[in-house]
Amino acid sequence: MNTERIVYIVAGCLILTSLALAHWVDARWMWLTVFVGLNLFQSGFTGFCPLERILLKLGVPKGGCNAAGTRKG
């Protein structure tokens, strides 16, 4: 597993969890959905993702098209 896939998985889980919490607990949980969405939006433009930096420091391999297990050459 690489950083790109982990970031997508964590973002999706946070969005789904916050939507469920907003529905069943308190509508203010929607702010977590807003935060995740804004972070994804800005990282698309800037290339900066805090979670990716944390994962890289933990030793997770950087994501990419061929980083998921197939090697060329």
* Mean of pLDDT over the chain: 89
- What are the boundaries of each domain within the chain? 3-57
Nearest one of 24, 23, 22 to 35, comparing CA atoms: 22
Find tokens 């509508």 and name the residue.
Answer: 27
The whole-number pLDDT of residue 72 equals 46
CA angle 65, 51, 55 (to 5 degrees): 70
CA 51/CA 66 separation, integer angstroms? 21
pLDDT of 44 higher than 50: yes
The pTM is what? 0.80
The predicted model gives 25-35 an average pLDDT of 97
The whole-number pLDDT of residue 63 equals 75
Reported as a single tens digit per residue, the pLDDT across 53-70 is 999 999 999 976 554 455
Nearest one of 39, 30, 31 to 10, comparing CA atoms: 39
